[in-house]
Chain A
Amino acid sequence: MKHNHRKQAGSRLVELFQAYLLNHAHGLFSSLGRLSRTPFTSSMTILVLAIAISLASSFYIVVANIQQLTGNLESSNQMSLFLHDNITDAAGQKLAEQIQQNGSVVDVKFISKKQALEEFKANSGFSDALNALERNPLPSVIQVVPKNALENNEDIEKLMADFKQFPQVDFVQVDMQWVARLQTIMLIASRGVMLVSLLLGFAVTFITGNTIRLELQNRQDEVFISKLVGATHAFIQRPFLYTGFWLGFISGFLGWLIMTIMLLILETPVEKLSTLYNSSFDLLFLSFSEFILLLMISSVLAVVGSWAVLHYQLRQLKPQ
């Protein structure tokens, strides 16, 4: 008898769980159906959300692209050790080999006076003028690529000071400052993008919340009647939360589409520009995982906005 009773209670639990899942599935699809039944209103809302999302993700991708560009610069960062005029090529070469032994150095290259002149002639277009000079004015240079370039300013400074100790070295130049400046600018830009994205995220939350509030008002009778037949708040708000989810999800996808189309339009001129600079710059698009993340973020923002409104409004709506 007792066993039977327990079995009954168990099967009621299973039934409740099944009904709960069914209820969720119903909420998921019925809310989508409901959105499609008011195509004009729904598409207006979704479009506004999609534009906000595409703006935020476009800013993000622009910064990512610029970072990719400056990323290449970082690795080419190097120190130039200018040698005294009276140092012979052999002595310079020897110093280069000595520096090579240093643990914090990745690559060392010795450029003799003659090589420097050839290079300068080839690249500067001043070859005739240079030919007119009686003697080679260029010093020998040792180019040093430090390990972990730029990661630690102090290390670089220390290395620089070390190199200055060599009597053969006239002065040391680090092409760091402008890179550091550029990096700071990028930092400001990416932080700015973060702030603007945050605002746009709030916009997505509030727009969805407001849409759900209107939807709730349109369906007041349904809410009242559900309350009167014993529906919990969780039950009543479920379809509305799914509506919010769909708004966010569809807008996220559409926002991605808008951004991708904009990038595709820009791709050809950007590549042309890149060829003009003898560079092989590839425009960066959103990766698959970033795309999934975008969908997730926009869905979550929309659901949060809906939930906040429902949480507040459902308590206000009392059946008459």
Chain B
Amino acid sequence: MLRFEHVSKRYPDAGEALTDVSFHLHRGEMAFLTGRSGAGKSTLLKLIAMMEQCTRGSVSLDGQDITRIGERKIPYMRRNLGLIFQDYKLLNDRTVFDNVALPLVVSGYNHQEVARRVRASLDKVGLLGKEKKHPLALSGGEQQRVGIARAIVNKPKLILADEPTGNLDPDLSAEVMFMFEQFKQVGVTVLIASHDIELINHLGHRVLTLDKGHLVAS
């Protein structure tokens, strides 16, 4: 599903962020990506999200090489991804409904289909009935769940989460992780960057550990 082969990424001014990283995530696999800050977690996620391109090696997603993907193809390829951020990245001037609907609107679904899928998605994260609220009227945990609803609304093949529980208390974190496990159950591949070692160990999934750009454990 997600394959890294001898991937290195060098930034012109910051030096090498990733060195010879190789791993493979299967369909429906859930894994944690961990390491100290600056170990290259963000860089690795950016390569998958096509926000950066690697300097050497190759990255492929669902059998398609995205290493040197053209600018024009990126939007269509990104529709296979569900991205979740630590700071939620919601549009605060829009309602919860509009936030979750964005990936569908962008892909050109009609009104009824958008409404149906947004509701299904909000139902999965337990926020049905809050469609008309604005993100800032919600708690942090709820905002993150809006972010998750947005990530899954387009039925992505791969969910990438960057420190999704970074701003949440342990109870909420466990709740969010439980949701990710449910997605895994229906065949979605999930990759979560986190340094919440306790929670990671408790859940017992595969762990990819980065240290100074090297993959030291997978």
> B-contacting residues of A (Cβ < 8 Å)?
15-16, 18-20, 22-23, 221-222, 224-233, 235, 315, 318-320
Contact = CB atoms under 8 A, between A and B. Distances in A.
A15 B109 contact: yes
Contact of B83 (A15, A229, A235, A315): A229
16 contacts: A15-B113, A19-B105, A221-B91, A225-B90, A227-B75, A228-B49, A228-B83, A229-B78, A229-B83, A229-B103, A230-B75, A230-B103, A230-B106, A232-B106, A235-B106, A320-B51
Contacts of A222: 91
B182 interface: no
Contacts of A232: 72, 75-76, 106
A226 B83 CA distance: 12
Q: Name the residue in A222, A226, A228, A233 with the highest tally of chain B Cβ atoms < 10 Å from its Cβ.
A: A228
Contacts of B150: 229
Contacts of A16: 108
Interface of B: 49, 51, 71-72, 75-79, 81, 83, 89-91, 102-103, 105-111, 113, 150, 154
A226 B102 contact: yes
A226 B108 contact: no
B106 A226 contact: yes
A146 to B, nearest CB: 65
B75 A22 contact: no
A231 B106 contact: yes
A225 B102 contact: yes
Nearest to A232: B75
A228 B81 CA distance: 9
Contacts of B72: 232
Contact of B110 (A19, A224, A226, A229): A19
Contacts of A15: 108-110, 113
A230 B71 CA distance: 12
A229 B154 contact: yes
B153 to A, nearest CB: 9
A63 B36 CA distance: 74
A19 B108 contact: yes
A229 B111 contact: no
Contacts of A23: 105, 108
